[in-house]
Structure 1
Amino acid sequence: MAATGTDSLLEAQSAPAAAGTARTTQTVVNNTDSVNVVSAAAQKATPSVVTIAVTSGTTGGTGSGIILDTQGHILTNTHVVTLDGKAPNPALEVRTSDGNVYPGTVLGADPLSDLAVIKVDAPNLAPAALGDSSKVNVGDTAIAIGAPLGLTGTVTDGIISTLNRTISVASSAIPNNPANDSGQPDSGGSFSFAPPDSSQSSAPTTNGNVSLNVIQTDAAINPGNSGGALVNTQGEIIGVNVAIASAGGNSSSGTSAGNIGVGFAIPINNATRIAQEIATHGSATHGQLGVTITPKAAGKKSHFSIGAAVADVAAGSAADKAGIQKGDVITALGNRAIQDASELTAAVHEQPAGATLDATLTRGGKQQQITVTLGSSTTQP
């Protein structure tokens, strides 16, 4: 179902928060003389972060979300609104920072980006101020706001650990061995979504992997933080918290997952495009290259890969039309350097269908550039 009134989506100015009658979760400032940049950023951004309760039968959990506009569009993760794949049509409740609770409706969920938009009918919402994730630096202060373990309004801080990291996360929403841009991801079992905090320990049936380009941070992210905000020192949203690395296990049910200082967020610039498309059309588009890729291009004896080696090219695909051939090694797409199969998959799916961009490849030991116009991914929500 397409949303209405999308002209106000992602509006720049925030409306004042309502004075709720329920217990609030506003950021507390007891001593204005000692306010630092984290305190100020948290106070600005917290009213724009909500807690999302998701239930389906006897299964339930909590996640987080970001208010986009006064029309009630809220950005979160696909794995939040589906209880990590356990519930395709759950009931949703949204609690705002003033303590009020509203029913929510899923407008659309996009598994390739693990982003979803829900809608609430609520007064006096406080839209988030959105930053520019292309201007983030490694070492910048990063602040995570959300509801880890169901603890609404939790603020943690750290730094941006790295940019343009690609992770592959097991997802029940992605078909196994999808027909486009497929390959064996190098890091498929190393990461898990920061799932809705839940007492249920049963894991979803996993079909495939979703490859995401993310910001890495050491700000503490735990189950329940998913869909919440990663914020800069100006209180602007620079990312949507999505996943964590786990040293003790890789269960996406969250039973063994916890913060070890390696968390991930989807850059807000990419998330904004997806949110706008979902709010307008109920779904989002993704580019398709039309190749099968192998995980290693640096030789069987090397632990490291250099580019994505093309094993096959689909006839009539974007790659075929651009002149990409079997045996080519793709080393860059647009402004993304490509080290392995997962990075190519993430770079392609980050683009909208029909995007035209340059690619760098090696053929017969010689580097060359081509221009490719991407097709449309056939993987549907």
Structure 2
Amino acid sequence: MSDSNIPDPNTSGAPVPPRPPLPDSGAAGPSAAGPQASGAPHAGGGFFSHGSQASGQHAPGASFSGQPTAPQPDAHAPRAAEAKVGSGKIVAVLVAAAIVGAVSGLGGAAIGNDMFAANSSTSVSRGSTTVTVNDPDNVNQTTGIAAKTLPSVVTISATSSDGGGTGSGVILSSDGYIVTNTHVVTLDGASSDAALRVTTSDGRVYDAKIVGTDPIYDLAVIKLTGASGLTPITFADSSKLNVGDTTVAVGAPLGLSNTVTTGIVSALNRSIQIASSAVPDSGEQQQDQGQNGESPFQFDFGQGQERGSGSSGTISIAVIQTDAAINPGNSGGALVDDTGDLIGINVAIATAGGGSSSSSEAGSIGVGFSIPSNIVKRVTDEIIADGSASHGLLGAMVGNAADAENSTVAGALISDVTSGGAAAQAGLKAGDVVTEFDGVPVRDATDLTAQVRALAAGAKASLVYVRDGKTQSADVTLGELTE
């Protein structure tokens, strides 16, 4: 089927020349489905992974059954991975193994009208991908955003001897580099060598290998085998976002690929702390992360077993908060702005409930989280270049100032500093309360840790702190977090 009516997603409105028929599935194209397992019960609120997780054992490279998104004569339709929604009823933030969210209420703005002229066909398709347009005269902005973004989003299936799951990913390069979440490709730390199969929005299926994982910010890069001619996402500058800006989430919630939802930026400069079996629980990581390095939140794939296969640590990450619908199976998917440019990688949601969880109850309640695109860009660039990413270390034990007796200001209370570390060299002392870091307000220990980890080792930053009731500032050169 010709796609000559589809404008180039990197331009506004100009049609592209007809393209040759797409290759058969498996010939050349990415498919992304990140791992998500159905989860073990939790005793309280917390962060939970919400990737769609299939239970049971799967052989690497096993085929999947399912109906194609839309019948197409010139390409094989992708087969959807079998998935069960993991149990996860909890008042908490759920780390999503494949997230999809989006913004509601987008009007018929220029991008929609440019994408679909009045004389266009009733649907725009590429392979098995279809953006349905029943009334070309009245397409809205979301339709245009979807048409631009879908070719850059994939579904990822991860399987190991213990089980498997699906998630989402975003194309970084035409030759098959994909960004997703660490918890998607490792089944929340349960497997270091899960078999990965990736399906593109137009139905092409590829094998994939892990290039590198970054458990500290729950990001990972994988590389498709034999891929070419893919459509990379365009990055936006996440530091320029405003509360109230339009957001559109694209991914495969519950294994439903090519799903689009809409919302707004609900909050910025938000930080969350998550328990993760993919990250080692070392003394270095406990620094800057609260006096005990513990979190009241955790995430779970719902595999009916202990999370992961290693020790359980915690991570603190800076996020964009959105009310775009994000559900299990959408981790690693794209959050884009009103021009279809990437502003974040979906990673977690808040869920309402308590006690034991079931994936059917662990769905969107309008509070979702995405890792900002500027952090994603730095981390993925480092992984592609070196196989890993670095993170800053302040060299201090911190807690929540608001919890301290006689506290008069919110912030991160320093309880101890490491001799010769970054904090000590900047002149910080026990008892100081950090209220701002690198221009971002700090309300508690999680905020400070997340902002420090967002920067590379050796980065320079300014901070504001309160000592003996007086506000002061200091410049700091961060150390390097080691495992």
State the TM-score, normalizing by the size of structure 2.
Answer: 0.70
Aligned to 1:19: 22
Aligned to 1:269: 374
The question of 1:330 aligning with 2:434 is answered yes
For residues 226-237 of structure 1, what are the structure 2 equivalents within 5 Å?
A: 226-237=331-342
Aligned to 1:73: 177
Structure 1 portions without partners, runs of 5+: 1-11
1: CA distance, partners of 2:380 / 2:193: 19
Aligned to 1:202: 305
2: CA distance, partners of 1:316 / 1:72: 43
Aligned to 1:164: 269
The question of 1:339 aligning with 2:443 is answered yes
1: CA distance, partners of 2:355 / 2:427: 39
Partner SS state of residue 457, structure 2 = coil
TM-superposed CA distance for 1:233, in Å, is 1.3
Please say if residues 185 and 295 of structure 1, whose CA atoms lie closer than 8 Å, have aligned partners that are also in contact: no
Question: Which amino acid in structure 2 is aligned with residue 22 of structure 1?
Answer: H
Partner SS state of residue 132, structure 2 = coil
1: CA distance, partners of 2:295 / 2:215: 16
2: CA distance, partners of 1:201 / 1:260: 24
For residues 49-128 of structure 1, what are the structure 2 equivalents within 5 Å?
A: 49-120=153-224, 121-128=226-233
1: CA distance, partners of 2:358 / 2:130: 29
The equivalent position to 1:211 in structure 2, one of 316, 321, 327, is 316
User: Alpha carbons of 1:187 and 1:147: their partners in 2 closer, same or farther (altered >3 Å)?
Assistant: farther
User: Alpha carbons of 1:133 and 1:360: their partners in 2 closer, same or farther (altered >3 Å)?
Assistant: same
The question of 1:181 aligning with 2:288 is answered yes
Q: How many residues end up aligned between the 2 structures? A: 363
For residues 225-264 of structure 1, what are the structure 2 equivalents within 5 Å?
A: 225-249=330-354, 256-264=361-369
2: CA distance, partners of 1:189 / 1:147: 28
Partner SS state of residue 61, structure 1 = strand
1: CA distance, partners of 2:291 / 2:396: 13
User: Alpha carbons of 1:334 and 1:58: their partners in 2 closer, same or farther (altered >3 Å)?
Assistant: closer
Question: Which amino acid in structure 1 is aligned with residue 445 of structure 2?
Answer: A
The structure carrying a bigger strand percent of its residues is 1
TM-superposed CA distance for 1:28, in Å, is 2.7
The question of 1:317 aligning with 2:427 is answered no
Q: Deviations over 1:129-165 (max 9, x none)?
A: 2111112211112111000011010111111111111
Question: Which amino acid in structure 1 is aligned with residue 266 of structure 2?
Answer: S
Structure 2 portions without partners, runs of 5+: 1-8, 24-74, 78-127
TM-superposed CA distance for 1:30, in Å, is 3.1
Aligned to 1:365: 469
Q: Deviations over 1:266-302 (max 9, x none)?
A: 0101100000000000000100000001223464487
2: CA distance, partners of 1:17 / 1:291: 58
TM-superposed CA distance for 1:27, in Å, is 2.7
Aligned to 1:152: 257
TM-superposed CA distance for 1:250, in Å, is 8.0
Greater relative contact order (Cα < 8 A, sep 6+):
2
Please say if residues 167 and 187 of structure 1, whose CA atoms lie closer than 8 Å, have aligned partners that are also in contact: no
Please say if residues 18 and 98 of structure 1, whose CA atoms lie closer than 8 Å, have aligned partners that are also in contact: no
User: Alpha carbons of 1:276 and 1:248: their partners in 2 closer, same or farther (altered >3 Å)?
Assistant: same
Q: Deviations over 1:16-53 (max 9, x none)?
A: 89735122234333332121111110110010000000
Q: Deviations over 1:292-335 (max 9, x none)?
A: 01223464487x97111111101111111111111111111111
1: CA distance, partners of 2:149 / 2:292: 35
2: CA distance, partners of 1:17 / 1:71: 18
Q: Which has the larger radius of gyration?
A: 2
1: CA distance, partners of 2:264 / 2:196: 32
Please say if residues 249 and 336 of structure 2, whose CA atoms lie closer than 8 Å, have aligned partners that are also in contact: yes
The question of 1:35 aligning with 2:142 is answered no
Question: Which amino acid in structure 1 is aligned with residue 194 of structure 2?
Answer: P
2: CA distance, partners of 1:251 / 1:88: 27
Please say if residues 184 and 295 of structure 1, whose CA atoms lie closer than 8 Å, have aligned partners that are also in contact: no
Question: Which amino acid in structure 1 is aligned with residue 437 of structure 2?
Answer: L
Aligned to 2:397: 292
1: CA distance, partners of 2:421 / 2:294: 27
1: CA distance, partners of 2:188 / 2:179: 16
Question: Which amino acid in structure 1 is aligned with residue 151 of structure 2?
Answer: P
State the TM-score, normalizing by the size of structure 1.
Answer: 0.89
